Amino acid sequence: MKDYTLTVQTDDYMDIYCPHVPWIGSAGTTTRPQQPPLTFRPILHLVDAEGFARCDHTRGTLRWRCDRPKAPDMPLRFAEKFQLYTAFSAGYEFLPGKHYYYISTPLLDNDKKCFRLRVYVRCSKDDEKPGGTTPGALQDPGGMARVSSASSLCRPPAMLILAMTVTFWLWKGMA
């Protein structure tokens, strides 16, 4: 299966739409199909690089469950916000310059194939160092985003700069 790479920056959203069996109508009526077709009900996981390579969902955490393919009005939709900080215990924090890996459960039992999505979080234009390049601009021949030293291309968050400055002042005052 082909792997896909999506490049985002902090505070971007990614919408996930689950497979959906629409209501079927004839002569203007809407009714449910008597025998729904076999539907794919993926369970999506956020995994590490090895879990991504092996389609191994045990190497990560369950992120979303697409378990209602016959929802009455529209498909289930989940949203991921790529943010540096979250106040929610179930939320995730995404750092610029890193890859994150999403996979679905295997399509069939004992199948090693799965849907895969690699997400690269690049520096926002505001975080780019003067004279530097954004990590998303660096590409390998296969078209997969990659960065050798992404942390050197992004400025640290303002809170980190403030914390480092205060720590330095306190340390200097003690000496």
Phi/psi for 74 (5° steps) reads -160, 170
Taking the C-alpha atoms of residue 28 and residue 48, their distance in angstroms, rounded to an integer, is: 48
User: Residue ranges per domain, the chain?
Assistant: 4-174
pLDDT, tens digit (0-9, with 9 covering 90-100), for 61-109: 999 888 776 666 777 788 899 988 888 877 788 999 999 999 987 655 5
Phi/psi for 66 (5° steps) reads -90, 80
Q: What is the CATH number of domain 4-174?
A: 2.60.40.420
Give me the mean pLDDT over the 121-150 stretch. Answer: 47
Residues ≥6 apart with Cβ < 8 Å to 69: 18, 19, 20, 21, 36, 39, 40, 41, 75
Secondary structure element (H or E) that encloses residue 103, with its range: strand 98-104
Q: What is the pLDDT of residue 28?
A: 54
133 or 106, which is more confident:
106
Q: What is the pLDDT of residue 146?
A: 34
100 or 143, which is more confident:
100
Q: What is the pLDDT of residue 47?
A: 95
Contact assessment for residue 55 and residue 112, using Cβ atoms and an 8 Å cutoff: yes
Contact assessment for residue 1 and residue 113, using Cβ atoms and an 8 Å cutoff: yes
Q: What is the pLDDT of residue 87?
A: 80
Phi/psi for 114 (5° steps) reads -155, 165
Strands 116-122 and 4-9, sheet pairing: parallel
CA end-to-end span of the chain: 60
Taking the C-alpha atoms of residue 57 and residue 80, their distance in angstroms, rounded to an integer, is: 18
Confidence of residue 135 (pLDDT cuts 50, 70, 90): very low
Taking the C-alpha atoms of residue 92 and residue 14, their distance in angstroms, rounded to an integer, is: 13
124 or 159, which is more confident:
124
pLDDT, tens digit (0-9, with 9 covering 90-100), for 14-68: 988 887 766 655 555 555 554 445 556 788 999 999 999 988 888 899 998 887 7
